[in-house]
Structure 1
């Protein structure tokens, strides 16, 4: 009898941020993101010079947990989530840990998008969601085998989830998503009139 099985699974972690660490008030986090964005002139200039829609602190600030206690609480929570995901992935960390490498704010206005990319030199990447108004774009994840499917036909629209070439994850405020950093992903255009706010991060093997 023939047998078909799935191999080389790509894992995606999704949880409520509140499952680990201190309680984080989403309204306080949103206010903190806007306060930082308003004061971060270097970040504003970088966004303008590089045609980045909205605001990101990625190229300007490296000390968010020091600036606002709520970001220190966030890191405590993220550390626990990443440890849980690493355990699920059955990584052999050789007695070492995955530690936060960088953490940054994203404020995406209507019409803004973040093109397909990955996160080199990191092990686990992710995002937690601060504001997701109606119509805000989901996270789009790409099948990592895409570049090797040279002559493969397209999948049917009703193909099983694990066979789809792209997966769209629509998170809620207070969710955290984690994936291995080599997984290509993007944020399609924000169709909401309101801003989509998230905090993204990378973890490296220390």
Structure 2
């Protein structure tokens, strides 16, 4: 009797941020993101020089949890989500652990996008969603085997999700998504008519 197995699984973790730790009011977190963006002249300058759409604190602020208590509360919750994901991944961490490497704000205006990329120096990456207006971009995830499929025919539109070359996740406000940092991903164009797509992204390293 024939048997077909799924091998080399790529895991994606999705949960409500409030599942662990104290609830965080999305409106307060949104206001904090805008306040930080308004005061972060170095970040504004970097975005302008690099042609980065909207605002990110990635290249300017490296200590959000120390500066702003709401981000310390956020990281306390994220630590628990990452621990749950690590348990699912069956990592053998030895006498080390995973710790926050960096965390940053993304404010993506209508028409803005983030091209596909990976986070090569980290173990777990993820995003929690602060504002997702109607038309805001889903997260696009790419099958890591895609570069090796030189002669493979395309998949049917009705293919199972685990067989598709690209998978889109449309998160809602308050969701947290986690994935292994080698997984290529992108944010397609924000098609919201007026409002910004706001998220907070982060990396965890093994040390």
TM over 0.5: yes
Report the equivalent of 2:128.
Answer: 128
The corresponding residue for 1:190 is 190
Counterpart for residue 139 of structure 1 = 139
Counterpart CA distance in 2 for 1:175 and 1:18 is: 8
CA RMSD across the alignment: 0.5
Unaligned runs of 5+ in 1: none
Task: For residue 66 of structure 1, report the CA deviation from its aligned partner.
Answer: 1.3
Shift of 1:68: 1.0
Provide the TM-score with structure 2 as the length reference: 0.99
Gaps spanning 5+ residues in structure 2: where? Answer: none
Q: Residue in 1 aligned with 2:58?
A: 58
The structural deviation recorded for 1:95 is: 2.2
TM-score normalised by length of structure 1: 0.99
The runs of 4+ residues in structure 1 deviating greater than 6 Å are: none
1:26 aligns with 2:29: no
Give the Cα separation in 2 of the matches to 1:36 and 1:185.
26
TM-aligned CA deviation for residue 96 of structure 1: 1.4
Residues 106-126 of structure 1, C-alpha deviation per residue, up to 9 Å, x if partnerless? 000000000000001100000
CA distances 1:128-159 after superposition (whole Å, capped 9, x unpaired):
00000000000000000001101000101111
Aligned length: 206
- 2:177 corresponds in structure 1 to 177
Matches of 1:189 and 1:172, distance apart in 2:
17
Distance 1:12 1:178 in 2: 6
